[in-house]
Structure 1
Amino acid sequence: MTTTYAEAGPTRSPARRHLRQLGIDTQYVFFGFPLGLVTLVVALTGFAVGIGTAIIWVGLPILVGTLMLSRGFAVVERARIGPVLGRKVPHPVYRTAEAQGLVRRTFISLADGQAWLDMVHGMFRFIPSTLAFCFVLTWWAGTLAGLTYPLYDWAIPNPPDNTGLHELLGYEDTVFVRMLFNVSIGLFFAVTLFPVVRAAALAEAYFAHGMLNGVHELRQQVTAAEEARDVARSQKAAAVSAEAVALRKLERDIHDGPQQRLVRLAMDLGRAEQQFNDDPERARVIVAEALSQTRETLDELRALSRGIAPPILVDRGLRAALTALAGRCTVPVDLDAPPLDRLEPAVESTAYFVVAEALTNVAKHSHASEVQVSVQRIATGLIVTVADDGVGGASLAKGHGLAGLDDRVRAAGGVLSVDSPDGAGTRLTAALPI
């Protein structure tokens, strides 16, 4: 997060902030004018001499020295424009020689684009510096000279008033009319002093910022865009992987459970049909068993449907769904889930499946006597924690049971971590953005 100068200092009234900013902008412009003259002479002279004598190799060290001096002036300028722009201006990364050779380290700046931009800024910064200096000097001179005119009017020889201004205003006192006129001019300059000085300082500062940090910020934006693209690709791949794992698990569960029961049900009903005439009592027994298998099949299908889209999660929210989930777990669950406002369906679904999968693994593999489930909402997201006192040894590596859960969390833009030392229990934490 970028820290502004206004945030770093104590709270000030608007008038005091304006006066402070006026002082900052004025000194920036006034000191920038002579500094621009110096950098112009150094950069232009060094560049001209260096290019002119480069053919005999003498110019290369001169160019390197000029680039290094320009870099020093650029460092000073970045520090100066920070208070004007109201934020800290970072220093760009300059090229450095990977090899340890003295010659390579010396001449590496000749291949550094930012070093050349620093020198170009040193050549051309005199233009905005001069314009800003003229405006600021004029407005300060007009303000001070106009407002203090009554103090030094007596020392100025004044010719006879032939303007007729005193007749227009109804005053015969020419001195009073002259003072009123000059003080009015001073008031005009004083009223417009802050916006003019501010505009002049910002124009000079933005020119310097564009030359000294524009390319660096553009590179940062490109890097951020590439990182966002990589994150999006990772989330897409995780979503595809999580969906594939979920489909394979659902297919396996249907094949091992309801499908086998339905096959047996069909066989039993066929046997009952054959025995209705010969042994009705035996047929009734078979039909009764088939009805029992039908109920068990329906229970399994309901359990599978809860794994796909739990109705209680859709209807009553995450807290109610987790309460029902904890009640069905074979290991005692200590649930800490305060009332939450409804979140995005994807976030609620991911949080539910994190807890569901974790409790399933606890019941099957951990040999735990208790498990604690905690759900906390913070400013940036949702923190889901599942901790048990089992044997540990859980992992997010491919081939383990939690790998698919990790893909599901990453597909939602979150992060899943597991702390599971052998013999010390398992702590699973998922951070989900909201």
Structure 2
Amino acid sequence: MSSVDDMTMTPAPALSAPVRMLRQIGIDTQYVLLGFPIGILTVSLLTTLFWTGVGTLVIWVGLPILLATMYVARGFAVFERARIGPVFHRSLQHPYYKKPKDDSFVRRVFTPLADGQSWLDLLHGVFRFIPSTIAFSFVITWWAGALGGLSWGLWGWSLPDGPDDQDLPELLGFDGSYGTKVAFYLAAGIFFAGTLYWVVRGAALLEGWFARGLLSGVNELREQVAQAEAGRELAQQQKAAAVSAEATALRKLERDIHDGPQQRLVRLAMDLGRAEQQFATDPDAARATITEALTQTRETLDELRALSRGIAPPILVDRGLQAALTALAGRCTVPVDLDAPTFERLAPAVESTAYFVVAEALTNVAKHSQASEVQVSVQRIATGLMVTVADDGVGGASLAKGHGLAGLDDRVRAAGGVLAVDSPVGAGTRLTAALPL
């Protein structure tokens, strides 16, 4: 086991809701205000390069110009992905770009032109000014309305009035007194300030989602498909592990019945047949044979009870995992140090898997480990249930096929968990199973 040094860390104080809103307004405002001139620059530069390249394709000069256009668009796209991060509170991953298969000039020229993400970068650079202009207009309008309306009373008196000039309040039917104008503009400023967060946030998201959809949408979709494929593969592995674990359990049960109760029942039938023959000639010998047959019957019942506990232990169903593990520890021929605190009942599949992990591990310890002591720990953690069985025996255990723990590994994987074994030769065995809840 590796030791971890304790470190004292002071958590950062959580920001209050008003502070978070003000911080987000600042982030979204700078994103939109900076995006407008960048959008104008991008569309001007990229359209010029692109159409120049298209127009000069007939003399082959257009190919390097188009290649330069793609790389310029990619540079703007990289910069934009970095700017989007604070708006969405997450960093956008760099998408996949097709790479040339060799270093030839032709491959280098045509690979970006044949790459879908490069064309999406160019499409974003050419049309980004549309959402940028819309977002910029709303943000400028709302900031001007909020700041101008709230402060109009401080500077509105200095505005000159021409003979034909009318202020907005007068055009809307209010009287022309200075106090009325101050009240009108103050009310307008309060309205703009009160709705500033949602308008600025919406404007930033309009521009941000347009950029995210073109610059990272395909990559995010690819990742979702990969995660779905990984989930399906994991489900298939769990299904295969469940089938393998069930087959292993059935083979073990069949072998145990054949080697134990079945042989005793065969001997019981032979003893009863011999006793039937002895009754006529030697009643005392017949009684002794029947007595031996009764002993065989009791031993057979004990073995059948033990096998039934391996299939579905009643104590686990009735009293829970802690009681079932206590009973297991009491039956083990090697002294067991059990650490299994009582907690709420878990899903039946989780409790059953944890029980069989400990049961199989203790059986292996008793048969093969030559250990003098075994420690069993079952702990409830944030991500699931952690089961650990450690002994001080000869070691050498393995999860490889053909070893005794292979079936147990299948059972744990069928439950969605992971089984690990650390068993150096001569240094004991530590078996750890992590089961998700």
TM-score by length of 2: 0.91
Q: How does 1:184-199 map to 2 (within 5 A)?
A: 184-199=187-202
SS in 1 for 2:260: helix
Counterpart in the other structure of 1:305: 308
Q: Deviations over 1:358-381 (max 9, x none)?
A: 111111111111111111110001
Letter matched to residue 152 of structure 1: G
SS in 2 for 1:285: helix
**2:299 equivalent among 270, 293, 296:** 296
Q: Deviations over 1:183-235 (max 9, x none)?
A: 33333322222222221111111111111111111000000000000000000
Q: Deviations over 1:82-123 (max 9, x none)?
A: 122222222223233353446534543223221211111001
Unaligned runs of 5+ in 1: 1-7
Q: How does 1:323-402 map to 2 (within 5 A)?
A: 323-402=326-405
2:164 is equivalent to residue 156 of structure 1: no
Counterpart in the other structure of 2:253: 250
2:411 is equivalent to residue 416 of structure 1: no
Q: How does 1:16-415 map to 2 (within 5 A)?
A: 16-101=19-104, 104-105=107-108, 107-150=110-153, 151-159=155-163, 174-415=177-418
CA distance in 1, matches of 2:351, 2:98: 47
Deviation at 1:132? 1.0
CA distance in 2, matches of 1:300, 1:177: 99
Deviation at 1:68? 0.9
Task: State how many pairs are aligned.
Answer: 424
Deviation at 1:158? 4.3
Contact map agreement 2:394 2:425 (CA 8 A) in 1: yes
CA distance in 1, matches of 2:373, 2:198: 68
SS in 1 for 2:94: coil
TM-score by length of 1: 0.92
Letter matched to residue 157 of structure 1: D
SS in 2 for 1:423: coil
Given the superposition, is the C-alpha separation of residues 9 and 195 from structure 1 closer, same or farther in structure 2, using an over 3 Å criterion?
Answer: farther
Could you list the structure 1 runs, at least 4 aligned residues long, displaced by more than 4 angstroms after superposition: 100-103, 160-166
Letter matched to residue 155 of structure 1: L
CA distance in 2, matches of 1:327, 1:426: 20
CA distance in 2, matches of 1:393, 1:165: 94
Contact map agreement 1:132 1:200 (CA 8 A) in 2: yes
Identity rate of aligned residues, in percent?
A: 69
Unaligned runs of 5+ in 2: 1-10
CA distance in 1, matches of 2:37, 2:68: 21
Deviation at 1:144? 2.8
SS in 2 for 1:148: helix
